[in-house]
Structure 1
Amino acid sequence: MMETLTRLWRKAPQPAVLQLARSRDSDWAGSALPQARRRLCREIRRKVPVADAALDKIVRLTGEFIVQSDDALVEEELRRFCREIAIGAGRQGLRGFLEQYLNSLLTDGTAVAEMIPAADGSGLGAVLLCPAESLAVRRAENGVGLRFYAARDGLPGEEVRWPELILYTPLDPDAGEVWGHSVLEGLEAVSQVWEQILRSTAQNFERAGSLRYAVTYRPGEGERINPREVAETMAREWRAAMDGSSGSVSDFVAVGNVEIRVIGADSPILDTEVPVRQLLEQIIAKLGVPPFLLGLHWSTTERMSKQQADLLTSELERYRSLLTPVLRRILDTHLRLWGHTAPFAVEWQDISLQDTAELAQARYDNARAAVLEEQLTEKGEIV
């Protein structure tokens, strides 16, 4: 079956000469995904709920797709495949796999998956998402292709025997690099300040909810007392008054000049609204998600909301352009193993109904303008 896959897989023509170096360092430098960077980005997503919610919104808003083909049999088979393909953990459906793939791409900066042929050779049996750190990538000798190696503990091992079955997508790789960059990169300082503010706020409210008292006794002039004995007595009686069980009332009775005050009551709690909003603005600007999608009801105009929605649409179209080649490669591999090579098309559904309505209104306005122009031309009013 593997020999059949090799014969069916058509490789693109390779360039004959490479004139410039494609890598800054040695051949194996940076072949594995940096573990520290991966852990940092995942920690940012775990500790900053707004960033996690924004990435979830991006994944969900990417939308659905349908497969179309002039061959009815091929179209029916591809649609069945999209519904029933196993993607691991007891789940099925190519849509769910694309969500996992895009999630890994946004968080780690690189997404890796493997296509598993069916045992009977009737197509693909499963498409499984792999941890990005399980793969080491090296640029091929021609400077264009990639060579894949199984990695363990950050070290490359044996070369993958069937690289045609590996799905690999980097997000915005630097020149000469093979690994992409997470959309969360650059938020390290923001997430650190965010965590400090939340921790300090929690500590302040914990102290405000668990009051601490200062009991001060000032003896009068000429009064002879044993300070230590008086302090121990007052501490014992105050503790007994504070330890009263629920529903019981205890009184603390003292003679003389006794002052009782709450420790820290004179210190105001810092206002965190302004710094937190500044941090949220940094996060939203980095991820490109409009605030109203995250439940942040900031003052804005209808025009600003429309522009933000347009920016989000362009971001989603960009991610779709990264997912479409992966999707087409999966479907094409399944068709070849199934024994067919009929052409097909992947059509993404509109991102929102609002976009559909706006496009329909624009088409209506253009058609109406064309009719008016034609009528005026017939009357000789315009040339």
Structure 2
Amino acid sequence: MKLFQKKNAPKSAPELIGAQRGCAEGFDLPAAVQPYEKELYDRLRCAVPIIDAAIMKIIRLTGGFRVICSDESFQQELDSFLAGVPVGLTGRSVGCFADNFLDSLLTYGRAVGEIVTDNEQRRIAGLWNGDISKIRISSGADPFSRSYELRAPDGTSRRIAHPERIVYAELTGGNSLLRGLPSLSGILMRIYQCIGQNYDRAGNIRYAVTYKPTGEASDVMFTRERAQQIAREWADGMNSAKYGQVKDFVAVGDVDIKVIGAENQLFDTNVPVRQILEQLIAKLSIPPFLLGLSWSSTERMSSQQADILTSELEYYRRLLTPVICDVGNAYLASVGAEAACTVEWDNINLQDETALAEARLKNAQAREIELRLEKNQNGG
């Protein structure tokens, strides 16, 4: 009976939240992304092309989608809105908004967007992808409602008046997909920098011209003048290639010409570079063959890697689905429709078309056998 008496009691604050965050009251979340952290990830994508290529491929492989309205009478109007809604200054369509949203989600671990309304606040004017480093997120009246603060350039912040127009998502723990990669990328860039310096020294051939006097009195007296003359003639012979000419270098006496660094060998960087790239690709969950890396891989291994990537893409789709539904539901509410949206994603196709056709054939044959057995059982 005591349980039924407490049924209408006000909600109490969850004790686990206070224990995990070290406070009994208040449920402030950490600031989304610091400006220096955002700049670090941006520079990382610019410095290491394979990271940027992997993120762009994940965005494209996530695939397209279609938003389904529960009320079919509003389906055509909803499709027209989602296909032509302005996104920022240059984009258009909810697909463009979802791509930019996922790009921020992968790069910074969090993404934020805004549903912009017109002055009368009756219709949706467009969508905007926000800068996650300028947004601070905290809880509202209870642990499950959020409020947003916008950071100003002078360091102050102001609370966003309409948090219901904000769409927000984050990866597990709010950590970027690139977390842990800056240190490895720093090593990789140092290796490439050393390779460039070695080729500047040894790859760009330089010569050592040595004149050895014979010991005669004339050679000893005019050694300096002869060395200067040899240097002028050698420089003239080397510079003649700029003008499309070929000149021979002719010298009298004991003159020795060697290539600087010819006895040395460049370091083999294949092993350390590949080890670092393996770490990067393992973090990004992209099969190497999708990035143009011709590493030894069997057909079965490639199929397993494609299956793993498919599960990763399904995870990103689960994060994007509520955001897309929020946009569609906001539009339906603005036109006075009492309907809800669902998202229907396109099939992820990373396998060979021949293998897919064979799988469909086997499924059809199995279904035919099942129907035949059911028919025989019913007839018997």
TM-score by length of 2: 0.86
1:49-91, Cα deviation, whole Å (9 max, x unpaired): 1111110000001111112234222111211111011102232
Task: Report the counterpart of residue 21 of structure 2 in structure 1.
Answer: 23
Distance of 2:358 and 2:123 partners within structure 1: 41
Task: Say whether the 8 Å CA contact 2:41–2:107 is kept in structure 1.
Answer: yes
Of 227, 233, 236 in structure 1, the residue corresponding to residue 229 of structure 2 is 233
Task: Report the counterpart of residue 306 of structure 1 in structure 2.
Answer: 303
1:170-213, Cα deviation, whole Å (9 max, x unpaired): 2222xxxxxx1110111112211221122222233334453221
Which secondary structure does the structure 1 equivalent of 2:96 belong to?
Answer: helix
1:303-344, Cα deviation, whole Å (9 max, x unpaired): 111111100100000000000000111111111111112233
Distance of 1:358 and 1:98 partners within structure 2: 34
Query: Which deviates more from structure 2 when the two are superposed, residues 243-252 or residues 163-172?
Result: 243-252
What is the identity, as a one-letter code, of the residue corresponding to 2:178?
Answer: L
Task: Say whether the 8 Å CA contact 1:133–1:154 is kept in structure 2.
Answer: no
- Structure-2 change in CA distance of 1:361 and 1:152 (3 Å): farther
Task: Report the counterpart of residue 143 of structure 2 in structure 1.
Answer: 143
Which secondary structure does the structure 2 equivalent of 1:77 belong to?
Answer: helix
User: Which stretches of structure 1, 4 residues or longer, exceed 6 Å deviation after superposition?
Assistant: 25-29, 375-380
Task: Report the counterpart of residue 7 of structure 2 in structure 1.
Answer: none
Task: Say whether the 8 Å CA contact 1:35–1:154 is kept in structure 2.
Answer: no
Write the mapping of 1:252-263 to structure 2, written as runs, cut at 5 A: 252-263=249-260
Distance of 2:361 and 2:154 partners within structure 1: 54
- State the shift of 1:297 in Å: 2.2
Task: Say whether the 8 Å CA contact 1:115–1:127 is kept in structure 2.
Answer: yes
Query: Which deviates more from structure 2 when the two are superposed, residues 141-150 or residues 310-319?
Result: 141-150
Task: Say whether the 8 Å CA contact 2:28–2:139 is kept in structure 1.
Answer: no
Task: Report the counterpart of residue 363 of structure 2 in structure 1.
Answer: 363
Write the mapping of 1:113-124 to structure 2, written as runs, cut at 5 A: 113-124=113-124
TM-score by length of 1: 0.85
Task: Report the counterpart of residue 57 of structure 2 in structure 1.
Answer: 57
What is the identity, as a one-letter code, of the residue corresponding to 2:224?
Answer: R
Write the mapping of 1:212-223 to structure 2, written as runs, cut at 5 A: 212-222=206-216
User: Is 2:186 the counterpart of 1:192?
Assistant: yes
Distance of 1:69 and 1:49 partners within structure 2: 40
Write the mapping of 1:271-286 to structure 2, written as runs, cut at 5 A: 271-286=268-283
Query: Which deviates more from structure 2 when the two are superposed, residues 315-324 or residues 191-200?
Result: 191-200
Query: Which deviates more from structure 2 when the two are superposed, residues 34-43 or residues 327-336?
Result: 34-43
Query: Which deviates more from structure 2 when the two are superposed, residues 226-235 or residues 343-352?
Result: 226-235
Residue identity over aligned pairs, in percent, reads: 38
Task: Say whether the 8 Å CA contact 2:117–2:123 is kept in structure 1.
Answer: yes
Write the mapping of 1:120-131 to structure 2, written as runs, cut at 5 A: 120-131=120-131
Distance of 1:28 and 1:371 partners within structure 2: 59
Gap runs ≥5 in structure 1: 1-13, 174-179
Task: Report the counterpart of residue 199 of structure 2 in structure 1.
Answer: 205
Which secondary structure does the structure 2 equivalent of 1:233 belong to?
Answer: helix
Give the root-mean-square deviation of aligned CA atoms: 2.8
Task: Say whether the 8 Å CA contact 2:29–2:137 is kept in structure 1.
Answer: no
- Structure-2 change in CA distance of 1:190 and 1:81 (3 Å): same
What is the identity, as a one-letter code, of the residue corresponding to 2:338?
Answer: T
Which has the larger helix fraction? 2
Task: Say whether the 8 Å CA contact 1:135–1:156 is kept in structure 2.
Answer: no
Distance of 1:148 and 1:70 partners within structure 2: 31
Task: Report the counterpart of residue 288 of structure 1 in structure 2.
Answer: 285
- Structure-2 change in CA distance of 1:16 and 1:267 (3 Å): same
- Structure-2 change in CA distance of 1:246 and 1:345 (3 Å): same
Task: Report the counterpart of residue 38 of structure 2 in structure 1.
Answer: 38
Distance of 1:29 and 1:80 partners within structure 2: 38
Which secondary structure does the structure 1 equivalent of 2:129 belong to?
Answer: strand
Task: Report the counterpart of residue 5 of structure 2 in structure 1.
Answer: none
Which secondary structure does the structure 2 equivalent of 1:225 belong to?
Answer: helix
User: Is 2:155 the counterpart of 1:158?
Assistant: no
Which secondary structure does the structure 2 equivalent of 1:136 belong to?
Answer: strand
- State the shift of 1:351 in Å: 1.1
Distance of 2:172 and 2:58 partners within structure 1: 17
Task: Say whether the 8 Å CA contact 1:149–1:156 is kept in structure 2.
Answer: no
Distance of 1:379 and 1:193 partners within structure 2: 73
- Structure-2 change in CA distance of 1:135 and 1:253 (3 Å): same
1:142-180, Cα deviation, whole Å (9 max, x unpaired): 33322211112494511111100111112222xxxxxx1
Gap runs ≥5 in structure 2: 1-9
Which secondary structure does the structure 1 equivalent of 2:116 belong to?
Answer: strand
- State the shift of 1:373 in Å: 6.0
What is the identity, as a one-letter code, of the residue corresponding to 2:335?
Answer: W
User: Is 2:242 the counterpart of 1:242?
Assistant: no
Task: Say whether the 8 Å CA contact 1:237–1:252 is kept in structure 2.
Answer: yes
- State the shift of 1:363 in Å: 3.5
Of 320, 325, 331 in structure 2, the residue corresponding to residue 323 of structure 1 is 320
Distance of 1:372 and 1:267 partners within structure 2: 76
